[in-house]
Amino acid sequence: MALPAEQTLLKLSGTGIHGVALYSARGLTQSLDPIEAASVIRRTINLEAVDLSLPAARKYNTSINCPSNVNMAPPALDSIWPGMQVTIECVAELSYKTLGGTPSRPVVSGSSRVEGDFTRYRPVLTCLIVSMSMGAEEYTAGHEWSMTATEV
């Protein structure tokens, strides 16, 4: 899959969000993890495990990490703060059984593809920024940054 002009599949948008700066997201990693409320497992009196979580709790936390050893430009995070809402076109993929299945999240345009019995796609998540950090290495002129967000 060819990268877009921004040189990354990651897209960030929202009020006050200015996207992903060129050369600031090379080598990035993204994780999708269920929120804490999605895992409410208890044991019955017979010690059988039961799921008490609510279906509405099936949401993700996401973490985006960009290493300094390959990023030669700072991220566009000026004036971005925890609590701000951001729409993330993810790099991380989800998949579902093609026959009879449907995606659980909106699909990034053009990212859906069928491989065997499964359809893989990059989800679009609407999130609140939880935390972020930025750093720079003087000698290598590298820039590192990370952001965590939670789905609304």
- Taking the C-alpha atoms of residue 115 and residue 147, their distance in angstroms, rounded to an integer, is 30
pLDDT value at 90 more than 60:
yes
Say whether pLDDT at 6 is over 70. no
pTM of the model as a whole: 0.89
Read off the pLDDT of residues 101-118 as tens digits, 9 standing for 90 and up: 999 999 999 999 999 999
Signed CA dihedral, 146, 113, 101, 11: sign only: positive
Residue 78 has pLDDT above 60, yes or no: yes
Greater confidence, 120 or 143? 120
